[in-house]
Each structure stands twice: as structure tokens, then as C-alpha cells.
Amino acid sequence: MNEHVATKESAPAPMGIKALWLKEDWWAIWIGLTVVLLGIVLFLNGSPVLKSLAVNPGGLKWASFDQLADHFANNAGKYVVQFVVFALVFGVTSAIMGIKFGRFLVGFTFLYVLSVCMFAVGGWVNAAKYNLEPPLVALVVGLLLANLVPLPKILDDAFRVEYYVKLGIVLLGATFPITLVVTAGPVAIGQATIISLLTATTIYFLATRVFGLDRRLGAVLSVGGAVCGVSGSMAIAASVGAKREDIYTSVTLVVVWALIMILVLPFVSQALDLPAGVAGAWIGTSEFADAAGFAAASTYGKMVGHEDVSIKAFTLMKVIGRDLWIGIWSLVWALIATTQWEKKEGSARPGIGEIWHRFPKFVIGFFIASIVVTLFTGDYDADTLKKVVKPALMDPMGALRGWAFIFCFLSIGLTTRFRELKTVSRGALLAFSIGVAVNVVAGYILSVHVFGDYWAKL
């Protein structure tokens, strides 16, 4: 076999500064922080533009189609402007990253119209009674369309699950007090550390020692199950020299289990009567993909009427706790691969910079948005915050976050074509599934029994 090595002296220039406009993490930061800063400026000038831009029928509580029609008739201009702004922002930034604007626009128009319908369903007065939570409805509708209707391929370019969820997370920072991050962060990181180590070692041990799978596949599955799904697998793919087939296996297992958990965890949490914060933390320790986890946490939050609480607990646990492990696992596996698996002279040794290199940068935007808004609102008394700042600034930013999330939830369904998922080996299925079971049970014990009081008070 021909030798394949990494040589530092032969390395081409890294992407460097180009990542600032070629990676969706950075665009999520630029757009999210622009919304936050522009929102503050508009608020200070008494402008209703932000509120107008965030219009949606989600909070309408309509009881007849006439009411719904009236809403759209009265706000038609706002919806037109909203569509144009969204299409330009997402379309132009995607074009800069390499997706053709025309193709994106076609798909985005479809996605936007569907999203309006999802909000309208959620705004029905009886939606909660029938568990018609927009995240769940969006996911199911997306899945049905993707798997039962022959949608044109041209629509695909606008179904950017990760881009939308990253922007949603940055905007979430605007309604997330930094003080909560500071006080709750250590518990979240501690719980995430336990889960990450336990799940990763379980999957890797089962995959390689019990089921005899290739160690590269074992590594890819272990990080996928323990940290961040397919993104985690991709982060270490080059470090361990994973094969294309290994990533296919990760995709299939992550997608199937993530969907099962979106559909099951909210209802199990409801059956167990878990407080929103506890359920959010449990979902954060159980779900491996941010987008899927937000769908589950948001659904449960809406079911119990405390969406903000479940979303906050989920964010602390998943985004701040577990996602931080991506870079660490990448470094660890790179070290194992170069020092234990393939000891070759001249091979480049990974450095500590790998942690930053693979760090999910959009998290920075979340922190900055949180700090900026916390500092800005710190000057207002509680009464003014509630009666003036919240309705004119915080609520519209929350509504814009809702738009980003609904685009994401629909995109999860619309991109999941079961016929395109590859079959996986029995060993990989068992190793990963047992890891998921360990993850869910350990997450439950930690979220409900060990740190339950803490999460319940969020």
C-alpha cells in the first residue's frame, strides 16, 4: 500500500481569514450580531422595524380561517418585506459560500411559504390541545414531503439545517443573560464531561473489542454519539483517516436515532412530568445533533408552556457543555492516530491549536450576543424591562430566532430521505445503539437525580 502521510513542511496555507466568509459559523455570527446591534439602535430610536420584520402568525390564537386571512391581509406588506430581506440575507451569504443564488432562491421561496404555514398551524387556538407544536409539525411535514413527494432537486440548496440552527443559537444569546451562563455553565460542563467520556468510551470499546469493527469506524461513531453527531464524526474524520463508508454509517445511525429521540423524548418527559429545565437538560445530554435537540427541547417547552426554560437548559447542556468537546476529541484522536496507530517518521503531530481549529465558532456569537444584550438591558429597572424593552426588543429577537429554527426544523425533515440512507453493519448498529442507551440513561440520572434540583430552578 502506498504511504500516506501528513507533513508539516509541505502544508499549503490554511484557509485562515477566508473562513470568515466561507464558513457558515461566521456568517451566523455576522448576521446574528447585526440583528442584535441593529435591533438596539432601532429600539433606541423608537422604530418598529424589528417588530415588523419578525411578524408571524404563531401567536395569533386564531379560531377561524377568516381571522387567519385577516391577519395576512392586514400584514401583507410586512410579509413581502420580510421574505425579501430573509431571501437576500440567506441567499447572498450562501452565494458567497458557493451556493448559486438562483437555485437557493427557488428552494427558499418554498421553505418560506411552508414555514408560514407551520407558524399558522402553531397559532391555531387548539394547536396545543392536539400537540401540534410547530417544531414537531415542521419535522413531520418535512419528512412526509421528502419521502412521499418527488420534490425537485433544485429545492435542496436552501435546506441548510446547520446554517439556520447556528443563526438561531446566536440570536438565542440575545435573550440569554450572560449571568446565567456564568452561574450555570460549570454544572453543564461537568455533566457534559461525564456524558462525553462515558458514551465515547462505551461506543469505541463495544465497536472495536466486542463487535470487531475497524478502529477508525469505532472512533468516528464514538465521537458522533458522544458529542455532536455527524459534525463530530466529520471533525475527527481526517485525524483518524476515516473512510467515506464510515461517515455514511455515522449519518445513518445519527439521523435515525436523532429522529427517534425528537419524536419520543418530549412525550416521555411529559409522561414523567419533568420540569421544563430538567427535560431540557436531559434532551441536551441525550440528543447528539444541535438541530434535532432544539426541535425536541422546543417541542417539550411548548407542550408545558415554558419553551424558554427548556431551550435554555438544552443550550447550556448541549451548546455550551457538549459542543466544546468537539475540538478536544479531535485533538485526542489525532494524537492517538499519530502516536499509537501509525508511528511514521516525519508525520506531523497535532498541536493544541487543533481545539480552536475545530471549535464550532458560532458559539462565540452566542456569547457576544448574550453579553451585549445583558449589558444593554442592565440599565433598565424591572418594570421598564417588562413593559417596554421586552415587547419592543427581546420579543422580536425571539420571534426572529423562531423563524431561523422553523427553517431548520423543516429542513431536517426535507433533507431526510430514508431511501438515500446507507445500510449499516449489525456491529455498528449495536455498538452505537447501546451507546445511545447508555447516553440516555446516564443523562436521565444526571439531569433528574444528580443535578435535578439545579435544572428545575432555571
Partner 1 sequence: MTKQQTCGGCLHFVADAAELEREVPGLKILSSAFGSVRAETGLCRQRDFFCVPEHGCTDWRAAATAPQAA
Residues that bind partner 1 (CB under 8 A): 2-12, 14-15, 18-19, 22-26, 97-99, 159-163, 166, 228-232, 234-235, 237-238, 241-245, 247-248, 251-252, 254-255, 258, 289, 291-292, 326, 330, 348, 357-362, 412, 415-416, 420-422
Q: Which is nearer to partner 1, 27 or 86 (CB)?
A: 27
Contact indicator for 12, 366 with CB cutoff of 8 Å: no
Question: Could you identify the residue written with the cell 430566532?
Answer: 401
Question: Minimum distance from CB of 288 to partner 1 (Å)?
Answer: 8
Question: Minimum distance from CB of 449 to partner 1 (Å)?
Answer: 29
Q: Which is nearer to partner 1, 274 or 424 (CB)?
A: 424
Question: Minimum distance from CB of 130 to partner 1 (Å)?
Answer: 27
Q: Which is nearer to partner 1, 10 or 74 (CB)?
A: 10
Question: Minimum distance from CB of 391 to partner 1 (Å)?
Answer: 34
Question: Minimum distance from CB of 305 to partner 1 (Å)?
Answer: 28
Question: Minimum distance from CB of 204 to partner 1 (Å)?
Answer: 18
Contact indicator for 291, 314 with CB cutoff of 8 Å: no
Tell me the Ramachandran region of residue 80: left when phi exceeds 0, alpha when psi lies from -120 to 50, beta otherwise. alpha
Q: Which is nearer to partner 1, 120 or 412 (CB)?
A: 412
C-alpha cell at 5: 502521510
Q: What is the DSSP letter of 177?
A: -
Q: Which is nearer to partner 1, 109 or 347 (CB)?
A: 347
Q: Which is nearer to partner 1, 247 or 399 (CB)?
A: 247
Contact indicator for 91, 104 with CB cutoff of 8 Å: yes
How many angstroms separate the most distant Cα atoms in the chain?
Answer: 75
Q: Which is nearer to partner 1, 226 or 412 (CB)?
A: 412
Question: Minimum distance from CB of 429 to partner 1 (Å)?
Answer: 16
In a 3-state reduction of DSSP, which class is residue 124? strand
* Pairwise CA distance, residues 397 & 326, whole Å: 28
Report how far apart, in Å, the C-alpha atoms of 412 and of each of 195, 258, 392, 429 are. 25, 10, 31, 22
Contact indicator for 228, 288 with CB cutoff of 8 Å: yes
Q: Which is nearer to partner 1, 269 or 330 (CB)?
A: 330
Q: What is the DSSP letter of 17?
A: G
Question: Minimum distance from CB of 408 to partner 1 (Å)?
Answer: 10
Rg (CA), the chain: 22
C-beta atoms surrounding 292 within 10 Å = 28
**Of 324, 396, 401, 372, which is closest to residue 33 (Cα–Cα)?**
372
Phi, psi of 98 (to 5 degrees): 120, 10
